[in-house]
Amino acid sequence: MPIYDYHCQACGHRFEALVRSGATPACPQCASTALDKCVSPIAPAGKIEAIRMAHRRVAAAQGLFDNYSPSDKAKLLQGKKNI
């Protein structure tokens, strides 16, 4: 699942979301689906792993990893790639 940046047309909130193919994301502030997909900034060299792990922690806090087993979820949040 890729992470996309969005800007809500209804309330102006800017956020990132993990989006499955064919799924329609909604704004976490107002639940509107009127969103603009934004260009994500490029991560500076050497910071990509830290940024990826930060995104995973946010996704886990939002409950987006609930479909994983507890052991797989722990591996994802520790940065282990073999799941």
Q: pLDDT-based confidence at 7, cuts 50/70/90?
A: very high
User: In the structure, what pLDDT confidence band is assigned to residue 12 with cuts at 50, 70 and 90?
Assistant: very high
DSSP 10-72: TT--EEEEE--TT-----TTT----EEEEPPPPPPTT-HHHHHHHHHHHHHHTTTTTTS-HHH
Residue-wise pLDDT tens digits, 33-75: 999 988 777 766 667 777 878 888 888 888 888 878 888 888 8
